[in-house]
Amino acid sequence: MSKRILFLTHESALSGAPRSLAYFIEWLKSTQKEVEITTITLKDTIDKTSHFEFLSDNYYDFSRLQSRPEYTLKERLNRKLFNLPIYSEQEKLIQQLSKERYDLIYANTVSTLSLGVRLKKHFKDVPLILHVHEMRTAIEQLNSNFKQLSNNVDRFIAASELVKSHLVTFFDINEKKISRVYECSDVSPDLINYNKKINSAQTNVIMVGAAYWAKGDDLFILLAKEVVKRDNSFHFYWLGSQSKERETVNRADIEKLELEKNVHFLSYTSEPLKVVSEMDIFALTSRSDSFPLAAIEAGLLGLPIVCFDKASGITEIIEKGGGSVVSYLSIQEMADSIIHLKNNQSTYHLYSEQVKQLFKSCKPDVISQELYNVCFQYI
């Protein structure tokens, strides 16, 4: 008999947590032939095409369904004549799914927890796993009712030890109910420079991610100012989307700090990893970032990583080698680490080799096996 898993994703765009989930589903489809996949997305991609739709046996886009009941004449007559309740399109889908047999509900990110709990109440004895990719601040922002809803979760998967500690400390989750499984990603071997050396004439530092408070785009500019005033050969590149507000604010800051020649916010590219592979150092300026995929990819490409303590699960890898962990929000210390890498070629080469090896444990086949082991305890 096939095993049927109902996956919930907050969106189908392949970035961050959805991309990690897509890796897992793809691995399941290729290695576990008896597994049947149903996926519900709360938000589809703009062009209405989805990798999840391709990977899943059944696929539903909640954003296309009305969340409120539509009181049509037919619906009102049925209620009056036959005492039939009026349901929204979303509730009708939930009722339709509740007639099916599922072995597991897998909610990916805290944004899907509310739907996961609604579904669990319709099913009998179906376990609910919540994969938490967020830390305290993001959890509180995304789901104000998280603490109460979490009582319905049978198993938590934390994207890092830091996420796990936040669940225990700030939300009173029993540590025995949490499994730590890191995020995953991969890069093409063609992009890896197996003898990477830093360019002393122009040293390129990169950060990847959407520009907003959690990723620290403002800190990135301040870091560039501190480094460039000591060594003008450094260039800083930010690769990721910007809202109109962030674009105008960042541009003004760059101009006022006279960094136009040294700080570059790059426009969209279809080959982001090619851009990253051409850089020298990855500066993870995030304030709150559970385990960013961009850092995994930079590590696999051999870029030493500098990051803030207490801000990201990436520190759990870099503490073993491959870069530097500096005091939380210390621009001075991060600048010192970056300049040290340029001026010490042997250290740079050592970190480059270490970081490539360390992040091999975060490749999709390794992480997917870990996720599988957690899930199938409950099936």
Q: Above 60 in pLDDT, residue 73? A: no
Q: Above 80 in pLDDT, residue 71? A: no
Q: Tell whether 199 and 156 lie within a shared domain.
A: no
Q: Tell whether 266 and 146 lie within a shared domain.
A: no
Q: Tell whether 29 and 151 lie within a shared domain.
A: yes
Of 51-60, 93-102, 145-154, 167-176, the least confident: 93-102
Number of domains in the chain: 2
For residue 11, with 0-12 CB atoms within 10 Å meaning exposed, 13-18 middle and 19 or more buried, which class applies? buried
The interaxial angle of helices 217-228 and 331-343, nearest 10 deg, is 50
pLDDT value, residue 81: 54
Residues 205 and 237: their CA atoms lie apart, in Å, by 6
SS3 147: helix
Q: What would the pLDDT profile of 295-345 be if each residue is shown by its tens digit?
A: 999 999 999 999 999 999 999 999 999 999 999 999 999 999 999 999 999
Q: Tell whether 206 and 113 lie within a shared domain.
A: no
Range of the domain at 11: 3-184+364-375
pLDDT value, residue 85: 62
SS3 97: helix
SS3 271: coil
How many angstroms separate the Cα of 24 from the Cα of each of 3, 16, 30, 76, 232? 15, 13, 10, 44, 44
SS3 80: helix
pLDDT value, residue 83: 55
Q: Tell whether 158 and 200 lie within a shared domain.
A: no
Q: Tell whether 93 and 221 lie within a shared domain.
A: no
Q: Tell whether 175 and 194 lie within a shared domain.
A: no
How many angstroms separate the Cα of 178 from the Cα of each of 113, 159, 373? 16, 10, 13
> Which residues touch 196 (CB under 8 Å, ≥6 apart)?
302, 303, 349, 352
Q: Tell whether 225 and 352 lie within a shared domain.
A: yes
Q: Tell whether 239 and 345 lie within a shared domain.
A: yes
Q: What would the pLDDT profile of 162-218 be if each residue is shown by its tens digit?
A: 999 999 999 999 999 999 999 999 999 988 877 777 777 899 999 999 999 999 999
Residues 302 and 192: their CA atoms lie apart, in Å, by 7
Q: What would the pLDDT profile of 12-59 be if each residue is shown by its tens digit?
A: 877 889 999 999 999 999 999 889 999 999 887 655 556 888 899 999
The model's confidence at residue 122, banded by pLDDT at 50, 70 and 90, is confident
Q: Tell whether 339 and 210 lie within a shared domain.
A: yes
Q: In degrees, to the nearest 5, what angle opens at C-alpha 236 toward C-alphas 233 and 237? A: 140
CATH number of domain containing 330: 3.40.50.2000
How many angstroms separate the Cα of 267 from the Cα of each of 116, 209, 262? 36, 12, 16
* Structure letter (DSSP) for residue 261: T
Q: Tell whether 53 and 109 lie within a shared domain.
A: yes
* Structure letter (DSSP) for residue 160: S
Q: Above 70 in pLDDT, residue 72? A: no
- Residue at token pair 């674009």: 247
State the virtual CA torsion across 181, 184, 189, 195 in degrees, nearest 10. -70
Q: Tell whether 133 and 161 lie within a shared domain.
A: yes
